[in-house]
Amino acid sequence: MTDTRAYHHGDLRRALLAAALEAVGEVGPAALSLRDLARRAGVSHAAPAHHFGDKAGLLTALAAQGFDLLAQALTEADDDLLEAGVAYVDFAVTHRAYFEVMFRPELYRADDAELIAARGRAGAALRSGVAALSGGGAPADTDRDSLAAWSIAHGFATLWLAGALPDRVGDNPREAARAVLRRLST
């Protein structure tokens, strides 16, 4: 598994990000320990600092990766707004660790160039789905509609992840999300 050569790990940056993803899934993004990541990767406790500077740097890289994955997921369901919303919720549940980092900007460098670019790609994918549906409406309407669509999908995803939803919604996030999101497009 860990093909660790002594010194010059070779792919430490990627290994640390993978370990971080795993650790975030286990203990949440706030309780992440750089020293734990170093142990998982089989390197010394100060090695992560060399690649990411500090904890915020590492989480910045993770968030940027996450936004790119989200953009990709949204693009694939681009033609259908409802399906894009379902894809959004599905992403949050399936890639929970990414999602939890992405929307906790106090944990990373929100002004990082790469992150901003990735976030922009995800936002564009979202907006293009709304624009396709609302057709030739005024831009202001598209703005408001995409905000509403984003809000309801994001809200449902967040509540789902927080375990705040009542039991009766079931255990299938895609299905439950579809029922709720449909309320918007009537």
Give the interface with its own copies as residue ranges (CB under 8 A): 28, 30-31, 103-107, 110, 123, 143-145, 147-148, 150-159, 162-166, 168-169, 179-181, 183-184, 186
Residue 56 as a binder of DNA (CB under 7 A): the answer is yes
Residue 47 as a binder of DNA (CB under 7 A): the answer is yes
**By C-alpha distance, which of 107, 87, 111, 94 is closest to 28?**
107
Nearest CB to its own copies, comparing residues 10 and 155:
155
Task: Determine the residue type at 157.
Answer: A
Whole-angstrom distance, CA of residue 97 vs CA of residue 37: 15
Residue 45 as a binder of DNA (CB under 7 A): the answer is yes
The entry of its own copies, DNA, none that residue 8 binds, CB within 5 to 8 Å by partner kind: DNA
Whole-angstrom distance, CA of residue 20 vs CA of residue 32: 8
Identified binder of DNA from the candidate list 22, 54, 76, 143, rule CB under 7 A:
54
The entry of DNA, its own copies, none that residue 152 binds, CB within 5 to 8 Å by partner kind: its own copies
Place of tokens 């792919």: 11
Residue 49 as a binder of DNA (CB under 7 A): the answer is yes
Whole-angstrom distance, CA of residue 145 vs CA of residue 33: 40
Nearest CB to DNA, comparing residues 34 and 70:
34
At 125, list the tokens.
């994918």
Whole-angstrom distance, CA of residue 66 vs CA of residue 94: 12
- Please state the length of the chain: 186
**What is the binding site for DNA (CB under 7 A)?**
5-10, 12, 32-36, 38, 43-47, 49-51, 53-56
